[in-house]
Amino acid sequence: MATNITIRDIPDEVYAKIKKQADLHHRSINSEVIVYLKKLVQSNRRDPDQVITRAKKLKQKAKGSLSMDEIQQAIDQGRP
């Protein structure tokens, strides 16, 4: 079942951009906003905790590690 909402105090410049996009896509403003909302909730943004967990696992798999001094030496190599 569809639900209705009311959005108040939309800045004029935001409304103008949505209206322009709706016109370009031959949609109503309402339909354009629904498209934006669907894209927002269906985005592939990852959970930060999952990203950190994966990074830690990859770090454990990496062979060896460099100290900050070793990294700086590698950066500085070949520089005057």
Residue with tokens 């959005």: 7
Q: Is 2 helix (H, G, I), strand (E, B) or coil?
A: coil
CA-CA distance, 72 to 76, in Å (whole number)?
6
List CB contacts of 19: < 8 A, sequence separation 6 or more: 29
In degrees, rounded to 5, the angle at the alpha carbon of residue 40 between the alpha carbons of residues 21 and 58 is 135
List CB contacts of 79: < 8 A, sequence separation 6 or more: none
What's the pLDDT tens digit per position in 5-42?
999 999 999 999 999 999 999 999 999 999 999 988 88
Question: Could you tell me the pTM of the whole model?
Answer: 0.54
Q: What pLDDT score was predicted for residue 80?
A: 64
